[in-house]
Structure 1
Amino acid sequence: MAPNPTHTALWPAPHASGAVDATVHVPGSKSVTNRALVLAALASEPGWLRRPLRSRDTLLMAGALRAMGVEIEEGIGPDGTGEAWRVVPAGPHGPATVDVGNAGTVMRFLPPVAALADGPVRFDGDPRSHERPLNGVIDALRQLGARIDDDDRGALPMTVHGGGALDGGTVEVDASSSSQFVSALLLSAPRFNQGVELRHTGATLPSMPHIRMTVDMLRAVGAQVDAPESGGEPNVWRVTPGALLGRDLTIEPDLSNAQPFLAAALVTGGKVVIPDWPARTTQPGDRLREIFTEMGGSCELTEHGLVFTGSGAVHGIDVDLGEVGELTPGVAAVAALADSPSTLRGVAHLRLHETDRLAALTKEINELGGDVTETADGLHIRPRRLHGGVFHTYEDHRMATAGAIIGLAVAGVQIENVATTAKTLPDFPELWTGMLGA
């Protein structure tokens, strides 16, 4: 798991000289933006996405849908205010080539769309994308009648030979390595001739909030969905075939991307306001209010947004992050600066994320003088006095922001390839230094 030698630029992580006091406008949610793009592309009429996130992952999704014939026009909203994308659906078609980059949402959400296309669609991406599991989506689509050429790898590169339609029906999926396998099939299911009855067969199912997000967004565009959390059978989702409506949707801020800024308030004993924090949301990042309060902060949802205040003390935590695994790097960074040990549980699936996040966090924090050990399903972190050094990111945006959090409290931390944050949080270095008043 060697760092990529092509990204040797080092960014000196700013060291906080005192308590932060800032308002940070966090860009839109990647998870919501990419789901909204897929649903708008499959709708029966044009729709609008307001305040979409413009980042590597969302631009890859938009580019992939354009390659299959969907019109996505970037401009100003229908009322003349704010950035918005107008999506004009078209029957997806091939031949087309999709670059997934290293975006799990693109590599997993679009093969079912490609199965509906008229013609072949080839999928490829960054070298790391070839190592990330796709077997759940590939096997399920084959059960539903799709023809896919992946040389039996269960991974990229591959070609989906779209037949213009897909029968759909009952399908079994083991989504224990990624909840995206479930979301991928549900998003396109209303367009399958018989819809879908999806049964998850694995022992565990990580990141349930992301599946609830998918179900909520499907219902918002007119789909009929029976789901476990609304009284349905456990581990079974049923989607009825039918047309999807074009909507005028405003994208929520990305609450997981608010994590480093909230952590800054906690670590420095300061205050950060995140405007437009939703009162109700399916985003996993909403758990930060509870986690960071337990670690020593306090928060209040006001008309100005979420006001988060650090107490000047950072406490260790014993927490199951199975449903919110993407928060693990930031929680680990704060835990390394705490006054007592922490145990992070339920996140074995992070070994399959943008990088093996558990191994990467252990190595990088320990090389700054920390004491982190991997467990079967997470990390045990004993706080130690840390020192400066290079924090490698493995082309993983959440590793970069974790390093920045540590750098607030530890002088001399240098982050390799901070540009990888553009995956979901464009302009992170500018937002970070702006928060510090630099």
Structure 2
Amino acid sequence: MESNKISVGLDIGTTKIVAMIGRKNEYGKVEILGIGKSKSLGVHRGVVNNITQTIQSIQQAVQEAEAAASSSIDEVTVGIAGQHIRSLQHSDYITRANSELVIDEDDIDRLINQVHKLVMLPGEEIIHVLPQEYKIDGQPEIKEPIGMYGGRLEANFHVVVGQVSSIRNIGRCVKSSGLNLEGITLEPLASANAVLSQEEKEAGVALIDIGGGTTDLAVFKDGIIRHTAVIPFGGNVITEDIKEGCSIIEKQAELLKIKFGSAWPGENKDNEIVSIPGLRGRDPKEITLKNLSKIIHARVVEIVEQVYVEIKNYGHEEQKKKLIAGIVLTGGGSQLKHLKQLVEYITGMDTRIGYPNEHLAGDSDDDVTSPLFATAVGLVMDGLKRQERKKVEMHAATMSESMDTEDSTLEEEQAEVIQQPKQERKSFLDKLTERVKDFLDNAE
């Protein structure tokens, strides 16, 4: 198996660490070759708080995936999330020295680099700058300014900010597990790529990824990401509430939630009771399902309301910014019974559960197409995309070398071909990956 054709996604979550190996099949769909899962022990709310335990969990997941795919892993694409991630909107402009020349890549890079000079809180760094739309000499709503004339170039930006030490810690864990960092991706973006269709992104949609420690939100409209947020609550707080409310141990609380939990208390009759074995010869505990769903309902309402505040912050209530496709729920927490109905009831928006089967090969296991693995599938897709980009760049480089030896008439024809890949600008996450790699190399 050619290693350059496979891509590995590593989702370092609060409850589980998933390593997923995939490749593109002849139909352009992603075929999952192997998947490895381990309990995440050193991560709290998406942030690494115990390096040694995280390294062990990563190695365990990677070994399991390697065994399933009978292939060895050396490079991975990692997702970053966690409660330290926040986003803000910012507008900036540059004045061009010569308005007689058309706007090119350098102008846009200059504008984006200007955004990077924003003053952040100590320890924070800008990790993602996403241009929304441009204005040239006051003319609004320009999506692609390259090739146009103008003296003043303005843009609205969606800026994602995170703590660089948390990102370096993730890089450190990956490197110490004997793996190379191929790329870093924002987890809400990875999940969105796996479960949303292009039509939904155009119409306007909010993706809510309910994980163990955090709930990630990504809002799209007109095909562009407009808002991201990480809410520091997830499925674990629900388990914690059940544990406290019913005076049982965590393992039993988690099982109760998965087997009998419901986000809608009206569903259960008063006489439906579950008996839980007591500890060390103590009497069993009897818990009514109505009480259980009341505990779950209270916490889920709190999480959904916080997410809805973020959707309103984006401006969903304005006619122009309305999210026509509504809400898509994904992540392990989205499997809670009657959650879809509760979200629709609170927000009044159409809701569906997002399964990552949009881009997967038709014969994928039911296991892989579970919302639980949406982020991991998205990371595999991101890794494959990155490989394709590298291939195009290398092809362009070899062609430009061969052009040097050929005559000038051919040169002009081939220049057309080579122009294409050069338009692919390095994303900030690529630059961030390089910076983290440099930091880790120098820190050794």
Same fold (TM over 0.5): no
Larger Rg: 2
Q: 1 or 2, which has the higher helix percentage?
A: 2
TM-score range, shorter chain: under 0.3
What TM-score does the superposition give when structure 2 sets the normalisation length?
0.25
- Structure 1 length-normalised TM: 0.25
